[in-house]
Structure 1
Amino acid sequence: MNVRRSAAVLAATAVIGAAAPAVAASPSPSPSVAIPEGLYGAGDPTYDGVWRQSLTLLALNRQGVIPAQKAEDWLAGQQCASGAFPAFRADTTKPCDAKVMVDTNSTAAAVQALATVTSQHEDAVRKGLAWLKSVQNEDGGWGYTAGGATDANSTSVVIDAILAASMTGTGSMKSFEKDGKTPSDALLKLALPCTGDGGAFAYQPDKKGKLVANADATAAAVLSGLGGQPQIFLLGGEQASKSCEKPRDFERAVHNGASYLAGTMAKDKYLKSALPGAEDQPDYGNTADAVVALSAADFNDEAAASVHWLETHALKWAAQSGPAAYAQLIFAARAGGVDPREFGGKNLVTLLNATGPKPEHVPTLDEEPLLEANTDEDDDDGALTVAWTVGGGLLLGSLIGSALMLRGRKREQ
C-alpha cells in the first residue's frame, strides 16, 4: 500500500480547526540563514520555520494538493530526539542540546501537520504527543515553553494536534487528563464573566490575576472548543444569536466567546492590532482566524462580511508576510464561503504553491474537494462529522489545520 495518501482520501478527512500561537515573529525579508530545500517561504525561518511549514502543508492538504516529499521530510527532520520541535534548527545533523529552544506551539503544529498530511511519520507524531504530555501543566493546559504558565493560545494549539492525531489512531484526548484536569478545564479558567467584555477569553491572567479580553485568544479557544466543523464552505446553517451566560461549562464558554467576536467585528469587519504601542490598524491574521471561529459557531453573517473585507484588503499583507498568511486566508476563505482560487481576483492556492517546492500533484477543478459541506453522520466513507468530548466541551469533526500565524509579534524569552 502506498503510504502517501491520495488527494481524494485527504479531502474526505480534512476539516478546519484553528488556533493561534502564543508567540510568533514576522519573517524577515533578508534571511540570516540559508533557506533549506523543501521549506516554504523566502523569509528568515529562525522564529517561524516549523510553524509556517506546518500551516502551509495543512492548507495545501485541504485543497487536495500533494506536496513535494521533501517538504514533509524537512518538517519531520526538525524534530529533536525528545519528541519536541523547535521553531527552526539549521543543522539537523547535530542532536538538539540545551541551546535549541523547543516549544509547545511548534511541536503541536508539526504534530498536527504530520498526522494529517502523511502516514509516513507516525513515530514522529507519537513522540511529539509524548513530549507534549510530559510538559502538560497541572491545570490541564500548556504555556508556550515547557513549564510556562498556561495560556489560551498554546492550549488550543495542542488540543488541535491531539484531535488530529486521534483521527489516525496515533493519539487520544483521554490520555491528556492530568490529575482530573482536562485541557478544556484550563481554557474554561480563562473565560471572562458576562460583564464588560463578557464572553471573551483571556490569553493569561495579568500580573494582578485579572482576566483581560483578547480577541486572538478568543478565536483560538472557540475553535479548539468546536474542534472544526463540516467540510469546506461552512456557511449555510442557522444564524447564531449573540448571548452571554455564566460559563458554567466549556461548551457555554465557547458560545460566549463566539458571541464576543461577532459583536467586536460587527462594526469594522476586522480586528484591530492589540500589540502594545501599535497604531490603530487592522490585524489581518487575527481577522482571518476570527472568520473561521465565527463560521464554526454559526455566526454566518459576520463571517461572510469579514471574509469579503479580507478579499479587498488582505492580499498585500499576505504577499509581504509569506506562506503562512496565504494559508490563513485559505482557511478563512473556505470558512466564509469564498473559493480560495477566486479570492479577491487571486488564486491563493497558486500563490501558496509558488512559495515552496513544486508539489507532486495539484488537482484539476474536477479533482478539487467538493465545495459543499457534507454533514451526513451516517456516511462512514465521508467521516466528516465525528463527535469528540473533551471535558465538558463538544468537539465536532476532524481537524485539518490551525489558522495559525503571523501576528507580527517579537519572540518573548
Structure 2
Amino acid sequence: MNGVRWRTADTAAKFIGITDSRLRMSEKTNLFTPFHGAGLELANRIVMAPMTRRKSPGGVPGEDVAAYYRRRAEGGVGLIITEGTTIGRPAASSDEAIPNIHSPESILGWKHVVDGVHAAGGKIAVQLWHMGLRREPGTGPEPSAPSEGPSSEGAHSHAMTDSEIADAIEAFAQAAQTARAIGFNAVEIHGAHGYLVDQFFWEATNRRTDSYAGSIAGRTRFATEIVKAIRNRVGYDFTVSLRFSQWKVQDYSSRLARTPGELEQLLIPLADAGVSIFHASTRRFWEPEFTDSSLNLAGWAKKITGLPAMTVGSIGLEGPDFLHTLHARDTDRQYGQHQAASLDSLLHRLGDGEFDLVAVGRALAADPNWVRKVRDGAQDSIVTFEQSTLAELI
C-alpha cells in the first residue's frame, strides 16, 4: 500500500535487545497484561501521559511534585512519563516554573522524584523538551535569550546556526545521560505539537535551505542526530521514546505525512537511529489516521516500523479534548465538564495488537487511583476530570 516498506520485529530488535516473540502481542492482551519490550518490564500497559504543570519554582521539582508522581505509582500506573522537562539551552523554556534537567538543584529534585516512584514499585521516564519558536520572547529563566528554531519567526527569534544545532543535540544527549545516571527507566524526546524538534519536521516552520530541510527525510535529520547522540551516551539497552504528532498547537489540521508512504519516510530514519517506542500523539485515539484504514496514528507507526507504539488522546473521557480544556476560560463550562467514557473500543484495539501501550492524561491528573479503580471494576468511584483539576497537583 502506497509503497510502504513494513518493518520486521527482527530489524527493530537490534536497537532494543529483544526477540521477535516479545514484540508480538497475544490475542488476550488487555490493559493489565505485563509489557516486556523496548528495554522495559512493565506491570501493565497503562502509561501516565506527560502533562505540563508549571509547579517547579526555579525549575526544581520539589516535594509536592515528588508526591504527585509517587501517588500515580502507588495507584498502579505501569509507566509514568513526566511533564516536559527542558534541556540546557538558554531559550528552551517559557516559564521558570517548568522543570529542567540540567541545573544541579533540579537534578537532585528529579533524583528524589525517581526514588519515590521506585519505592512505590513504579517505573518513570523523563520527557526532554525544547519549546523552540513556541517560546514567547522575553520569557523563561533567561528572558534575554532570543527564541530559536529552524527558521526565524520575527525580530526576537532567529534561525539556529550549525553550531547552535550541534549544541542543542549535545544538550539532549547530556540530559539523557543524566536521566539514566539518576535512575530514570527511560527518556522520551518531545518531538510533537509544534515545539523545536517538530518545527524541524514541519515544512511550515522549517524553511531552511541546507541539509536539515527539503524532503521529509531531510527534515528528520535534526531528530535522528538527537537520537544517535543519545544512544552514544546511554547505549542500546536503555529505552528511548519519541513523541510525535501530526497536529500542532498552532494548527490542528496540519499534517507531517499525508499518506502512509510519507509517514514511512518520517519514521524509518528515526527507527534506524535508535528510537525504541513511538508515542503517537492524537487528540482522539479512535480517529483513523488515513482513509481506507481504521488504524490510528499509533497503529500505523507500529505497522510501518515493527516497533512498540503508544496511543493517547481522550482516553477514558467524553467531552472536549485536552487543548480546548487547557485554553478555555473559567466561565466556559462546556469546556470544563467531562464524563467518564467506555474503554471498550480501546480494549478491542489493544487486544487486536494495533498498539502496545496506552497513555492516559487528564483522567490520571484528576484521579491518581484511576488505574486501580479500572482494574477493580470500581469505575463509579473515579474522580472525573474538570478544568479546575489543572490548578493543583492532586
Q: Same fold (TM over 0.5)?
A: no
Considering Cα pairs closer than 8 Å and 6+ residues apart, tell me whether 1 or 2 has the greater RCO. Answer: 1
Q: Which has more strand, going by share of residues?
A: 2
TM-score of the two chains, using structure 1 as the length reference: 0.30
